[in-house]
Amino acid sequence: MSLITEEQVVLDLTGADRHEATRTLGERLVASGRCTDLDQFIADVRKREETMATGLPGGIGIPHARSSAITEPSLVFGRAADGIDWGAKDGPASLIFLIAAPEGGGDAHMQMLPKLARALMKKDFKAALGNATSEAEVVRIVSAEVGLDQPAPAKPASTQTSTTTTHSDAVSDPTRDTTGAAAAGSTATAASVASGSSSASTAGGGATTAVAEEAPPRALKLVGVTSCPTGIAHTYMAAEGLENAAKAAGHTMKVETQGSAGTTPLTAAEIAEADAVIFAHDLPVKDAGRFAGKPTVDVGVKKGISDGPALVQQAANLAAEWRADPSKAAAAAAAGPTASGGLTSKVEDGASTATKVRQWLMTGVSYMIPFVAAGGILIALSFMLAQVALGESGAIEIVKYGLTPTDPAYNIAQNFNPLSLTSWAALLFVIGGASFGFLVPILSGFIAFAIADRPGLVPGIVGGSVAATMGAGFLGGLVTGLIGGFVARWVSSWKVAKGVRGVMPVVVIPLLSSLITIGLFITVLGRPIKALTDALNTWLGGLGGGSAIILGLILGAMMGFDLGGPVNKVAYAFATTGLAAAGASTDAPQLKIMAAVMAAGMVAPLAMALATTIRPKLFSEPERENGKAAWLLGFSFISEGAIPFAAADPFRIIVSSMAGSAVTGALAMAFGTTLRAPHGGIWVLPLIGNFLLFVVALVAGVLVTCGIVVALKSRDPKLQQVEAVATV
């Protein structure tokens, strides 16, 4: 049945106070057969109101309760011409929604809250309700926005989270916003938390705690840590999302980003003063012992991007719990940290074999990317300076320079002239080349590290160096990393005499694992893998016409599929690891692949930004705000900027994103654009070969994705109805 019927609409609501008005609305539930005991239900609502008033800024009231007197989830709408005081500081409420849910009705109560809150963020939705002339019109307007999801299969009892938060946890400070939008956003936040959208655990034992009933009445000091294993995007997007969410909730927050671009650690004083901690990470938190004794929300990094407000509210609730029960802090401090420090990898216990293999490889790639970025950009800048200094042959001439060249005249260490542009170009080339020389050893070493922890570093790094020396390339690095990791883990598992244990990690494990791994590679595996690498390079070098376009199309579609997820990262890893094989060439096929992948990865966020600009009525208020941010994210090659859109409308957004990204990837390959930098987006445009054609390919894909998104959304009857009555 519908949540709201014509019988559950009161267009001329009156009452001496909110309690009398609530009874009037409740009587409509009795009349419709959805309430079996009005007094019991009113008592439950009043108990909720006594905890914290549910009036929101902007003339809104949302009384609500779970009650044994309610037979099914229901909404009752009342419109008060003169307004009724509902506890909001900015004045009385004129639009009142009574939310009623059965006591055992699961999360129906909390499904209604975020959807209603999102609708109330739309000015025309409120205006349409204020101007409605009939009960049927109100039912149509509300039903277009608020409905219950289909019930999901029940989770095993061991994995379910106990939550008791209700909506009033998130009633925002009315002094923050007089439009009602901020309050509605806070309502959505509370609903998200209460339905268990984030998995919070205490630092003490990792057990999920029940959400506190009350939101803290004071501003909090929060700290957090974000990290991701396969690049920089998620780390810094999550940090920004958490900081913005904390600010919107009236709190202060500082986030330590443990990403590939380095980090500024939180000070001991900042941690000591913090009321709660939020970890949004896919790598174990470094030096987690610093946070022992603090209430901690611990989730994956993507939660920090998509559910920042919910995580902040969860942290606030935990802080309130711990203030009420000081024994929790003492127990957590005694239990110690929940994560290890130092070098880290993210390999999930209990994950499938395929998932673990991907995580091992992505750990190696994540540690390799800074070397790729430094080396690639330095070499690209070197070629640019060389062409200015030496003309068109500059890129060919500059590769003769080094630290041990055959001709002493090209020894940059002995002949560097700070006033010579050629010397600077040579210096950049030598440093960039040195950075590139570490790509395969680092890739191999940290694959082994992900498998065997620190014991895997020696066989992995040395094995990768041998693979590079033999010309086996990144394929050789993958093999030595996997073998070195497994061998090191095997040797580490040996049960040895007590007297030998002390020398195992220092002597025995690195000695035996290196001997086995590298000896096996040199004598058995190295030559066939080198032959395979040579064949791959020959195939890539022979790409042209249709073959190159098809490869670009496939890689582009992969970049647009999951927007920073595993498929996207596979395409990106293929491009970045291939840069090592490009050497000093300015037109290697690997450079074309990198350009195609970067261009394709920029399409989705830019297309969403464009779509929200040209057809804003097809998107909600939060989506339009995300669209403004997506311009910068897209230009910076951060595909994750489109995640909020894909989360809200996965089919339309993913289909559109794949189509446009595939077009861009194919065109970039067809145009022969090249790129040595593995990241940076539009900000490394001067380093892109044929950059005008790169821009053409990018614009084409953006227009394709934007056009498909607009067309698909425009054909949705529900969206058309929402647009007519409930959008700005």
If you write DSSP's letter for every residue of 21-43 in order, what string do you get? HHHHHHHHHHHTT-BS-HHHHHH
Distance CA 478, CA 521 (A): 12
Task: Write down the pLDDT at residue 188.
Answer: 38
Distance CA 342, CA 365 (A): 18
- Angstrom CA distances, 496 to 287, 504, 711, stand at 30, 9, 68
Averaged pLDDT score across all residues of the chain:
78
Q: pLDDT grade, residue 588 (50/70/90)?
A: confident
Distance CA 579, CA 588 (A): 9
Task: Write down the pLDDT at residue 640.
Answer: 76
Q: To which H or E segment does residue 281 belong?
A: strand 276-281
Count of all residues that appear for the chain in the document: 728
Q: Could you tell me which of 683, 678, 474, 467 has the C-alpha nearest to residue 576?
A: 678
Does residue 645 contact residue 694 with C-beta atoms inside 8 Å? no
What's the CA dihedral at 475, 477, 483, 484 to 10 degrees?
A: 180
Q: Could you tell me which of 113, 122, 95, 217 has the C-alpha nearest to residue 179?
A: 122
Least confident range of 501-505, 604-608, 641-645, 720-724: 720-724
Summarize pLDDT for 342-352 with one digit per residue, the tens: 556 656 656 67
Q: Is the pLDDT of residue 25 over 60?
A: yes
Q: Could you tell me which of 638, 677, 660 has the C-alpha nearest to residue 557?
A: 660
Task: Write down the pLDDT at residue 200.
Answer: 38
Per DSSP, the three-state class of 80 is strand
Please, is 391 exposed, middle or buried when counting C-beta atoms within 10 Å of its C-beta (0-12, 13-18, 19+)?
A: exposed
Least confident range of 70-79, 413-422, 461-470, 686-695: 686-695
Does residue 578 contact residue 620 with C-beta atoms inside 8 Å? no
Dihedral pair phi/psi, residue 264, rounded to 5°:
-110, 105
Domain boundaries, the chain: 6-146, 221-335, 353-532, 546-726
User: According to the per-residue pLDDT averaged within each range, which of 327-341, 358-372, 507-521 is highest?
Assistant: 507-521
Residue numbers annotated as active site: 228
Q: What is the mean pLDDT of residues 548-553?
A: 89
Does residue 398 contact residue 708 with C-beta atoms inside 8 Å? no
Does residue 597 contact residue 669 with C-beta atoms inside 8 Å? no
Dihedral pair phi/psi, residue 473, rounded to 5°:
65, -160
Task: Write down the pLDDT at residue 488.
Answer: 92
Q: pLDDT grade, residue 47 (50/70/90)?
A: confident
Percent of the chain with pLDDT over 70: 77
Task: Write down the pLDDT at residue 352.
Answer: 75
Q: What is the mean pLDDT of residues 603-612?
A: 94
Q: pLDDT grade, residue 149 (50/70/90)?
A: low
The Cβ of residue 501 has, within 10 Å, a number of other Cβ atoms equal to: 12
Q: Could you tell me which of 263, 49, 484, 317 has the C-alpha nearest to residue 476?
A: 484
Task: Write down the pLDDT at residue 207.
Answer: 37
Distance CA 22, CA 106 (A): 23
Task: Write down the pLDDT at residue 696.
Answer: 95
185 versus 316: which is more confidently predicted?
Answer: 316
Q: Could you tell me which of 124, 139, 11 has the C-alpha nearest to residue 75?
A: 139
Distance CA 400, CA 398 (A): 5
Distance CA 319, CA 638 (A): 33
Dihedral pair phi/psi, residue 56, rounded to 5°:
-115, 150
Q: pLDDT grade, residue 64 (50/70/90)?
A: confident
Beta bridge partners of 61: 55, 96
User: According to the per-residue pLDDT averaged within each range, which of 233-242, 282-291, 582-591 is highest?
Assistant: 282-291
Task: Write down the pLDDT at residue 528.
Answer: 93
What is the full DSSP assignment across 451-504?
HHSGGGHHHHHHHHHHHHHTT-HHHHHHHHHHHHHHHHHHHHT----HHHHTTI
Q: What is the mean pLDDT of residues 635-657?
A: 84
Does residue 206 contact residue 159 with C-beta atoms inside 8 Å? no
Beta bridge partners of 95: 60, 79
Distance CA 480, CA 369 (A): 18
Distance CA 140, CA 596 (A): 47
Q: Is the pLDDT of residue 665 over 60?
A: yes
Task: Write down the pLDDT at residue 9.
Answer: 94
Residue type, 222: L
Q: What is the mean pLDDT of residues 531-539?
A: 79
Residue type, 320: A
Task: Write down the pLDDT at residue 161.
Answer: 36
Least confident range of 105-114, 322-331, 360-369, 385-394: 105-114
Task: Write down the pLDDT at residue 222.
Answer: 94
Task: Write down the pLDDT at residue 439.
Answer: 83
Residue type, 258: Q
Q: Could you tell me which of 308, 286, 287, 305 has the C-alpha nearest to residue 297?
A: 308
Task: Write down the pLDDT at residue 591.
Answer: 87
- Angstrom CA distances, 295 to 76, 220, 278, 325, 335, stand at 38, 13, 9, 11, 13
Distance CA 334, CA 256 (A): 24
Distance CA 642, CA 623 (A): 10
Q: Which residues contact 13 (CB under 8 A, 6 or more apart)?
A: 21, 24, 25, 78, 79, 80, 84, 96
Residue whose entry in the numeric block shows the structure tokens 């909020």: 644
Q: pLDDT grade, residue 206 (50/70/90)?
A: very low
Summarize pLDDT for 155-179 with one digit per residue, the tens: 444 333 333 333 333 333 333 333 3
Tell me which CATH code domain 221-335 carries. 3.40.50.2300
Task: Write down the pLDDT at residue 17.
Answer: 87
494 versus 163: which is more confidently predicted?
Answer: 494
Distance CA 366, CA 442 (A): 10
Residue type, 469: T
221-335 matches 6-146 in CATH topology: no
Q: What is the mean pLDDT of residues 668-684?
A: 83
Q: Which CATH superfamily is domain 6-146 in?
A: Mannitol-specific EII; Chain A (3.40.930.10)
Pairing relation of β-strands 60-61 and 9-10?
unpaired
Q: pLDDT grade, residue 185 (50/70/90)?
A: very low
Q: Is the pLDDT of residue 271 over 70?
A: yes
Per DSSP, the three-state class of 578 is helix
Residue type, 273: E
What is the full DSSP assignment across 635-658?
HTT-GGGGHHHHHHSHHHHHHHHH
Distance CA 622, CA 708 (A): 21
Q: What is the mean pLDDT of residues 204-219?
A: 45
Q: Could you tell me which of 256, 248, 253, 245 has the C-alpha nearest to residue 280?
A: 256
Q: Which residues contact 348 (CB under 8 A, 6 or more apart)?
A: 355, 356, 359
Task: Write down the pLDDT at residue 229.
Answer: 56
720 versus 175: which is more confidently predicted?
Answer: 720
Does residue 13 contact residue 61 with C-beta atoms inside 8 Å? no
Does residue 347 contact residue 359 with C-beta atoms inside 8 Å? yes
Task: Write down the pLDDT at residue 542.
Answer: 67
Task: Write down the pLDDT at residue 108.
Answer: 53
SS (HEC) of 491-544: HHCCCCCHHHHCCHHHHHHHHHHHHHHHHHHHHHHHHHHHHHHHHHHHHHHCCC
Tokens of 416: 């560097």
Dihedral pair phi/psi, residue 705, rounded to 5°:
-60, -45
Least confident range of 196-200, 299-303, 493-497, 714-718: 196-200
Distance CA 481, CA 220 (A): 45
Task: Write down the pLDDT at residue 347.
Answer: 64
Distance CA 470, CA 180 (A): 66
Q: Could you tell me which of 652, 625, 657 has the C-alpha nearest to residue 640?
A: 657
Task: Write down the pLDDT at residue 112.
Answer: 64
